[in-house]
Amino acid sequence: MPKNKKIIFEDLALIDYKKSWEYQEKIFDKIINQKLENRENNQDKATENHLLFCQHPHVYTMGKSGSTNNLLFDDNFLKKINARFYKINRGGDVTYHGEGQLVGYPIIDLENFDFTIKNYIRNLEEVIILTLAEYKIKGSRLENSTGVWLDVGNPFKVRKICAIGVRASRYVSMHGFALNINTNLDYFNHIIPCGIGNKGVTSMKNEIGKEINFKEVQDKVYKNFLKVFCL
């Protein structure tokens, strides 16, 4: 049977982080269960691939390898800034999500695309790099780090514009990327983003100097995702 590269896309708009996480888990479990059923019954029924786009109200999330030393707040301060905090099951350290940031959750069977985990992350980075290039922003990879960065050749100016943190089991992915479009960067001041204290964070708005059409960027990310993953 040919491998299924069809992407089922959903725009969840502005959604509570926990609600979106539970929805991811539901899709993730469905794909895993299909793979297990295929193995147990010696069948080859196609597995689905999903891509969710959304924005979240103010929230901080910490991956499995995260350190509480990178949190510069307590519960009282979280209430003051109207934010929430979750420890979650992706890789990576602490990051921030908020309105004006495009969050993408690809929940896909990597075997449909013949990807290793490393290749998958590199392809997510490529999607963002291609999108930024359409706005004349030069995004790059930073050695020994995930995500998309600017000015990687200058240690005094290097800054992250897109964070990536994923979970994969039986070659099925969840969680994903967070691209800062019109994000309020002040919220990053309350953490050490991704546990990297000597590098900054930026947004497309910050780099271009004006508010960016969010829907336009989202459409371009989707187009480039299909280009990278499905062609």
Comparing C-alpha atoms, which of 225, 36, 3 is closest to residue 110? 3
Q: How far is CA 53 from CA 7, 68, 194, in A?
A: 13, 28, 21
Given a contact cutoff of 8 angstroms between Cβ atoms, the answer to whether 217 and 179 are in contact is yes
CA 188-17-29 angle, to 5 degrees, is 130
**Amino acid, res. 28:** F
Residues with Cβ within 8 Å of 121's Cβ and at least 6 positions away in sequence, in order, are 146, 164, 166
Residue with tokens 């075997």: 111
Task: Give the DSSP H or E segment for 95.
Answer: strand 94-97
**Amino acid, res. 207:** E
**DSSP for 153-175, written as a single string:** T-TTT-EEEEEEEEEEETTEEEE
Given a contact cutoff of 8 angstroms between Cβ atoms, the answer to whether 142 and 150 are in contact is no
Given 54, 162, 194, 230, the catalytic residue: 194
Q: Does the annotation count 194 as an active-site position?
A: yes
Rounded to 5 degrees, φ, ψ at 104 are -120, 130
- List residues bridging with 107 in a β-sheet: 50
Could you list the active site residues? 194
